[in-house]
Structure 1
Amino acid sequence: MREVAFIKQNKEKWLEFEHSFLNKEKKSPDDVANLHIKIMNDLVYAQTYYPKSKVTSYLNKLAKTSFDTVYDSKRRDRNIILYFFLEKVPLLSYKYRKYFYISFIFFFVCFFIGLISTFNDETFARQILGNSYVDQTLENIESGDAMAIYKSGSNWATFIGIYDNNQRVGLNMFLSGLFLGIGTCFYIVYNAIMVAVFQAFFYQQNTLLDSLKGIWIHGTYEIFGMIIEAGAGYIIGASILFPGTLKRFQSFKIGVKEAFYIFLSTIPFTIIAAFLEGYVTRYSNRMHPIFCFAIIFFCLITISYYYLIMPYKVAQKHNLR
């Protein structure tokens, strides 16, 4: 369809929404939602066939307005926290899902590199983990408690210290997106290789089961959360590099705001991970392996569902798929 014909065919409903918004006319939620769906469909069509046209930029702005109009009324009718976690974040996760996939792929590529490097270089573990950590862990293994290094200090002090450290790492991953995502990549490389070296080192010492029980009880939320935070950093970088039909600064503002919402959503998982490390991990050697892996499996299922499955369900509910 020619662009002129496309505009002529749909202009009436665009003006209808714009007029009702500017004049703050009261429409039923269903009418507004139906208009929003139609505008979104027109936007997708325009992005496909007229990507550099002014009508695409116009529809982009109109779609954002319609989105805010539709979901602002819903937000007022429900608890704002529930709305944030059950609607806003899943919809943003759906919108930016490709950045999550990129983050996961990059993390596991680096993880694999860390494994290969450890198995092929006897000194690699010491270079990454440090001599003092390796020596202390070897002594702990000889004494029969491979995870003893994680049992020092009180439960509360461990919880606070670990949360502070993990939140700093997550914040760095997020903010490093300001450097076109390059800084975020650096943090992913470092943390992925460190995790890989850690696991490979314990495997070499024949204590892999102890490390799996002792680390992934809290590490599932911790590592998964970091990958999502890195995805938020990539969103910022992409908003600068690929503004699309928007002006670069406008794209950047939207990218930072929406990436920040995603970053905020990881905080509860970071808190729970710190709690598990402070109050559960230290007792992993006394717990039956089945119970340990049940906790790990539960953590993996819940956080995977929230960021990888639930977004599709919420998007489908709002007819965005």
Structure 2
Amino acid sequence: MSVSAGNDVVRQSLASFRLEREADWTNFETLLTRAEKRPPHLLSEDELLSLPLLYRSALSSLSVARATSLDNALVAYLEALCLRGYFYLYGARRGLRQRIGDFFLHDWPHAIRDLWRETWVSVGLTAVGTLAGFWLVAADKGWYDAIIPASLAGGRNPDASAEMLRSVLYGGGNHFLSGFAAYLFTHNVQVAILAFALGFAFALPSVLLILMNGCVLGAMFQIYAAKGLGFELGGWLAIHGTTEIFAIILAGAAGMRIGTSIAFPGELPRMAAAAHAGRIAATAMVGVVVMLLFAGLLEGIGRQTITSDTARYAIGGAMLSLWIAYFYLFRMVRHGDS
């Protein structure tokens, strides 16, 4: 057989192949283009049923085209068509905006609600640590330096005058105030991250960090309360503190969930229990980062511009109410309406 005769046979095979199957390719491409431009629920039942059938037909055509070494342009066309079909039928069809919406509307609140036991334990540990720090400094001033390093105290210690402590709370751009506020925010971010990251060690580091954070809070309150400025300090901290401390509590709860799941896996294998707890805790921790960013904005703006105790407590109370409603009440209202 001559070369020209062989080429004629190939061309006839290609033409026959196209004649038999090209209508299906065209239908699949047209239907796929329409499906990519509209939500699935707007497609008809026949269109939804046709998509996987036409996709399998295109895959079969691609297999034949590759095996028989047909026209390279045809093989490339079928590969691109099958790839589009695969991503539409089996790929993640949710866009970035929808995934972010799902996180804030469902995933994050659900994870926080799932951690309710650990959250209450973390609240209790914070309260115990605060009372312990307050009592220790009240009983012996030396405990203040043991809890809060002198290099970061910036002169705020049990021997500081009421005027100096008050200037910190209402000094606006005061250098001491800026340094101390930055220390508090940095300290709380570090505690939140460590309380989560070290939770795998049977939750003990998370428990100790939450207790220590409470001790810092209690020690600070004691020196202000001793000068009659406890209420004023509470307002100064409330603007960002209700968000910041709540975030630390949740981070501690996430760390404790991982640690207790490893220590007490129940009926699941230890690694499976840790993996399940890790997914919930990680979701909660992503949200904790969001809360800390909010706290940083509130601290940066409120500390400089708001000096009214009433306004400070109002903002702090409103933020705490907002977080509680978002995590725990929104689901109840939504279910009640459904």
Give the shorter-chain TM-score range. Answer: 0.5 to 0.7
Aligned positions of 1:132-211 closer than 5 A: 132=151, 136-137=155-156, 141-143=162-164, 144-147=166-169, 148=171, 151-152=174-175, 165-211=187-233
Partners of 1:265 and 1:273 in 2: CA distance: 12
| CA pair 160-104 structure 1, distance change in 2 beyond 3 A | closer
| CA pair 151-79 structure 1, distance change in 2 beyond 3 A | farther
Partners of 1:257 and 1:162 in 2: CA distance: 29
What one-letter code is carried by the residue in structure 2 that aligns with 1:111?
T
Partners of 2:264 and 2:241 in 1: CA distance: 33
Instruction: Determine the structure 2 residue equivalent to 1:269.
Output: 291
CA RMSD of aligned residues (A): 3.4
What one-letter code is carried by the residue in structure 2 that aligns with 1:125?
Y
Instruction: Determine the structure 1 residue equivalent to 2:128.
Output: 109
**Ranges in structure 1 where 5+ consecutive residues have no aligned partner:** 1-27, 29-72
User: TM-score scaled by structure 2?
Assistant: 0.63
Partners of 2:230 and 2:93 in 1: CA distance: 49
Partners of 1:312 and 1:151 in 2: CA distance: 45
Does the aligned pair in 1 maintain the 2:144–2:219 contact within 8 Å? Answer: yes
Partners of 1:222 and 1:265 in 2: CA distance: 12
Instruction: Determine the structure 1 residue equivalent to 2:316.
Output: 296
Does the aligned pair in 1 maintain the 2:108–2:283 contact within 8 Å? Answer: yes
Does the aligned pair in 1 maintain the 2:243–2:319 contact within 8 Å? Answer: yes
Instruction: Determine the structure 2 residue equivalent to 1:46.
Output: none
Q: Of 82, 96, 107, which residue of structure 2 is paired with 1:88? A: 107
What one-letter code is carried by the residue in structure 2 that aligns with 1:309?
L
Cα drift, residue 194 of structure 1: 0.6
Q: Of 301, 304, 327, which residue of structure 2 is paired with 1:279? A: 301
Of structures 1 and 2, the one with the larger relative CO (CA 8 A, separation 6+) is 1
Cα displacement string for residues 122-151 of structure 1 (whole angstroms, at most 9, x for unaligned residues): 322232123455561265743451335984
Q: Of 127, 135, 143, which residue of structure 1 is paired with 2:146? A: 127
Partner-residue secondary structure (3-state), 1:180: coil
Q: Of 223, 230, 238, which residue of structure 1 is paired with 2:252? A: 230
What one-letter code is carried by the residue in structure 2 that aligns with 1:83?
D
Partners of 1:96 and 1:317 in 2: CA distance: 22
Does the aligned pair in 1 maintain the 2:111–2:280 contact within 8 Å? Answer: yes
Cα drift, residue 244 of structure 1: 2.0
Cα drift, residue 94 of structure 1: 2.5
Cα displacement string for residues 253-287 of structure 1 (whole angstroms, at most 9, x for unaligned residues): 11112101001111221011111222211344xx3
Does the aligned pair in 1 maintain the 2:247–2:288 contact within 8 Å? Answer: yes
| CA pair 101-139 structure 1, distance change in 2 beyond 3 A | closer
| CA pair 77-222 structure 1, distance change in 2 beyond 3 A | closer
Does the aligned pair in 2 maintain the 1:218–1:277 contact within 8 Å? Answer: yes
| CA pair 82-253 structure 1, distance change in 2 beyond 3 A | same
| CA pair 262-117 structure 1, distance change in 2 beyond 3 A | same
Does the aligned pair in 2 maintain the 1:129–1:194 contact within 8 Å? Answer: yes
Cα drift, residue 171 of structure 1: 1.2
Does the aligned pair in 2 maintain the 1:146–1:207 contact within 8 Å? Answer: no
| CA pair 159-192 structure 1, distance change in 2 beyond 3 A | closer
Identity of aligned residues (%): 20
Partners of 2:186 and 2:168 in 1: CA distance: 25
User: TM-score scaled by structure 1?
Assistant: 0.66
Q: Of 257, 261, 270, which residue of structure 2 is paired with 1:248? A: 270
Partners of 2:275 and 2:297 in 1: CA distance: 34
| CA pair 198-255 structure 1, distance change in 2 beyond 3 A | same
What one-letter code is carried by the residue in structure 1 that aligns with 2:296?
A
Mean Cα deviation higher: 104-113 or 137-146 = 137-146
**Ranges in structure 2 where 5+ consecutive residues have no aligned partner:** 1-40, 42-91
| CA pair 219-181 structure 1, distance change in 2 beyond 3 A | same
Partners of 2:131 and 2:187 in 1: CA distance: 25
Cα drift, residue 106 of structure 1: 1.9
Mean Cα deviation higher: 84-93 or 141-150 = 141-150
Partners of 1:164 and 1:128 in 2: CA distance: 16
What one-letter code is carried by the residue in structure 1 that aligns with 2:175?
S
Aligned positions of 1:8-27 closer than 5 A: none
Cα drift, residue 199 of structure 1: 0.9
